[in-house]
Amino acid sequence: MSRPDIPADIRRAVLVEAGHRCAIPRCNQTELDVHHIVPWADCQKHEYSNLIALCPICHRRAHLGDIDRKSLFIYKQNLAKEFGRHDNGSFQAEAVEIKRRLKEVNVNSPGFQFQFDFPDFPNPVERIVSRNIEAWGLELLAQFQDGQSHWDDNLEELPEHFHNWPARLSGDYEITRRDERLISIRYTVDTYYPGAAHGGRATRVLNYTLSPFRPVTLEYLLGDLIRLPALADLVRQHLSDTGQYTDWWLNSGTEPTEDHFSLFIILQHGVLFIFPEYRIASYAEGEQSIFIDFRELNEICNAEALEDISTLDEDYI
């Protein structure tokens, strides 16, 4: 099978965990690869717990066996402890109450207005979550800066009406769950680009277990994407039971693809799956969602993942 790219959230988490430096103690190189401790050929998965940031030299040494797998796993386990010990607590974003804000205004043509808020968690492990979200916000800001650089370099090509319509982005969040096991955050990102007929709104979710720290992806939740059709059947049945959706919308919007089910937040007693506009209902009906109890997910999801994210007793789930 062809090897897919490492998902951006997982890659970012691996790099932030290592402080954007090689994870081998005292190496400190900043040119980095993301290495599979158990080789891709054997695992065929991009799991956070199996990925570590290495410089090209250490990466090559790992492939040659000079740095063995057991050592790599030990270095991986120590990263969260080291992060909390050495993080100086300073962010690039200014503090706004108990959250932080990335903000930039560009007054050129068409210019842009950028504001992205994220939580400032004090606990050492939770700070890795804050760092991951800040890194995502900086990626979004870089996209706006790159777009403006393009217009700055091609000012003569800029349509007249663009001068009065700056690009805009606003990122707001809601912490839907935060406890000793997990942090789940739901983002609303509103964007407007010069020349567009209207703005766009997108929901983004961020789920992290804290002990051990890892991003909760759909693949981790299920254990294996081969279980995706069973999840799709369960979600489709719940949606059908509401009587709100036509068969055509449900059949097309709940096909067992990773894209259809990767948008979810983890609550105290189950998982809320979110569907953007046009996925299972018309644009006018807006975003849709359906809640699935942990007990119903017990037969479908990875038992280890459910244990990591559930607040319920084993007898309950």
Give me the average pLDDT of each 10-residue run along the chain (317 residues).
84 90 91 94 89 95 93 88 67 73 92 94 87 95 92 76 80 94 95 81 94 90 95 96 93 95 95 94 91 94 91 52
- For residue 215, the SS3 value is strand
Element containing residue 293 per DSSP (H, E): strand 288-293
pLDDT at 316: 43
User: Residue 19: what residue type?
Assistant: G
Q: Which CATH class is domain 218-309?
A: alpha beta
Tell which CATH classification among 2.60.98, 3.30.70, 3.30.200, 3.30.565 matches the domain 94-209. 3.30.565
pLDDT at 233: 97
The DSSP string of 237-284 is HHHHHTT-S-HHHHHHHTSS-HHHH--EEE-SSEEEEEE-TTTSS-GG
Sorted by where each begins, the domain ranges of the chain are: 8-86, 94-209, 218-309
Backbone angles phi, psi at 241, to 5 degrees: -65, -20
pLDDT at 95: 61
